[in-house]
Structure 1
């Protein structure tokens, strides 16, 4: 994965989390493990051997895929090995001037990642709410035990988030905002489902690639 552009205020707030959540979904060790079914790639920077591409039937084999980079990785891993990581010496020049293009990037394919399943969407919303939203809310509970638990979990998630902030040269003071950032990504995923149900899923350059039947 290339180092994504991260200079504007919105980029510094949201882009590190995008990468962080991506690696939560696709842990690089699992991707590299031949005994794991997890496979992923990041479309902005992929290198593949010609013979490996031929073995899977070429680019035509993923023509109908919305998340084509990860689909390519799955096909390659079924016949060989895949490596996923951050390319420190390669940087994206695509800028995100506001929150909207980042929202659109998520909404384009998030529901496809969930298999277009309403149950999976509900489960994801519940999990993200419990992990990221509940800890700060527990601080308002008035219960010393609940407040201690909420504070400890909020602190822990912030500490785990700090390395990606440092990688993107962002202030570590953004770490406590992770619950709000998670809400943004949760809302964008819900928006992805709504777009699909409205027949406007997978929007890309004026085309809708995943319209609901």
Structure 2
């Protein structure tokens, strides 16, 4: 039992450090600053990469077309080889709803070394340059925006002097599995990339949420976006790193959204599992050593407190029970703000160890899939290591669906 006591004590120490010394990652009050409208509104291009998005487009595209923006703005939807009529549907929605002008472009299949999403972004940026925009909003096809979303983003970027402003869209939390898994997805992301550090001057932490990124066109050009990150599976983090690292003096900001929401449902555990596992091993740079360290770390930080509490109570070892229980309490307290942000009951915070065990299994599964040649996959495309990226095609069923799944690429 002495080993259990030591493990529980180390876990407790880790949680004390996370709460007190890790950028206040658990806070959920990092929101767009109060709007201070600029004297002159810059021209903006909205680029939407879309592949087989006919199911969600009616719930998202009209919100972009209806943006209440005082300056000039236009939307470019890049139909990335869709087989479900995404491009034609976008044109019909534009005719029906009016609003901002819409251009639908088709880039063709990505060449070797490019992910599909970044190839679509490249084509969209090229089409947008004809209007000489000062800013580009990169937003996914499943993201719906409040009418003043673009106005708020531009205000924050211009008056705050930021080259990139990104919002973590509020993800859908409706079904039982979404309630269990989705808040933890954002929580773990914030733990990896504390939002306050992203915006901190002189801080090397760089991250973005790919569903909603407002980017200054000059910064994108200086950073060579998207060519410099063309093979990145986790493209949003790579984008932020390129802008912060390559554009001299670039400033970026990342926070949580109130009125920018994802309309994509993940009703089954299998859907959420694919969303996480498609990129988890890429996050670890496809390194078995990092995988082993991550699994060990997850077990120590999230699972050991519960095991120590149970072992301490059963075996009558108060030190193990106290340390394990205190670590679990701190864990739940750090998770509670994210649970409330997603409008879930406070008691759900105590379930984080169970959710963490699922994420551990998803991470291992991601590595297994990668080594079996079925790694980062999304709608018929499978991606390997960035340094030797190859794009493979899976056979499509008669209904247009593919045998692989994932999130965005």
Equivalent residue for 2:280, pick from 98, 107, 110? 110
2:158 aligned partner:
none
Task: Look up the SS of the partner of 1:83 in the other structure.
Answer: strand
Task: Look up the SS of the partner of 1:108 in the other structure.
Answer: helix
Equivalent residue for 1:24, pick from 188, 191, 210? 191
Shift of 1:63: 1.5
Query: Is the 8 Å Cα contact of residues 66 and 210 (structure 1) preserved in structure 2?
Result: no
Query: Is the 8 Å Cα contact of residues 286 and 385 (structure 2) preserved in structure 1?
Result: no
Structure 2, unpaired ranges of 5+: 1-167, 389-409
Query: Is the 8 Å Cα contact of residues 198 and 211 (structure 1) preserved in structure 2?
Result: no
Cα distance in 2 for partners of 1:47, 1:189 equals 30
Q: Deviations over 1:22-80 (max 9, x none)?
A: 00000012211232221111111111011111111232222211111111100111121
Cα distance in 2 for partners of 1:102, 1:204 equals 13
The alignment of Structure 1 onto Structure 2 pairs a total of residues equal to 213
Shift of 1:211: 5.9
Query: Is the 8 Å Cα contact of residues 138 and 146 (structure 1) preserved in structure 2?
Result: yes
Do structure 1's residue 59 and structure 2's residue 222 form an aligned pair? Answer: no
Query: Is the 8 Å Cα contact of residues 375 and 383 (structure 2) preserved in structure 1?
Result: yes
2:211 aligned partner:
44
Shift of 1:137: 0.7
Query: Is the 8 Å Cα contact of residues 201 and 211 (structure 1) preserved in structure 2?
Result: no
If the length of structure 1 is used for normalisation, what is the TM-score?
A: 0.96
Moved more, 124-133 or 135-144: 135-144
Q: What are the within-5 Å matches in structure 2 for residues 89-108 of structure 1?
A: 89-108=259-278
Query: Is the 8 Å Cα contact of residues 197 and 211 (structure 1) preserved in structure 2?
Result: no
Query: Is the 8 Å Cα contact of residues 65 and 71 (structure 1) preserved in structure 2?
Result: yes
User: Which protein has the larger Cα radius of gyration, Structure 1 or Structure 2?
Assistant: 2
Closer, same or farther: CA 37–211 of 1 in aligned 2, 3 Å = closer
Cα distance in 1 for partners of 2:202, 2:385 equals 34
Instruction: Say which structure is richer in strand.
Output: 2
Query: Is the 8 Å Cα contact of residues 332 and 352 (structure 2) preserved in structure 1?
Result: yes
Do structure 1's residue 123 and structure 2's residue 293 form an aligned pair? Answer: yes
RMSD (CA atoms): 1.4
1:86 aligned partner:
256
Shift of 1:89: 1.5
Task: Look up the SS of the partner of 2:214 in the other structure.
Answer: coil
Cα distance in 2 for partners of 1:20, 1:58 equals 28
Regions of 4+ moved over 3 Å: none
If the length of structure 2 is used for normalisation, what is the TM-score?
A: 0.51
1:140 aligned partner:
310
Task: Look up the SS of the partner of 1:84 in the other structure.
Answer: strand
Query: Is the 8 Å Cα contact of residues 225 and 239 (structure 2) preserved in structure 1?
Result: no
1:206 aligned partner:
380
1:73 aligned partner:
240
Q: Deviations over 1:108-159 (max 9, x none)?
A: 1111111111010110111110111011111222211101111111111111
Which structure is richer in relative contact order (CA contacts within 8 A, separation 6 or more)? 1
Structure 1, unpaired ranges of 5+: none
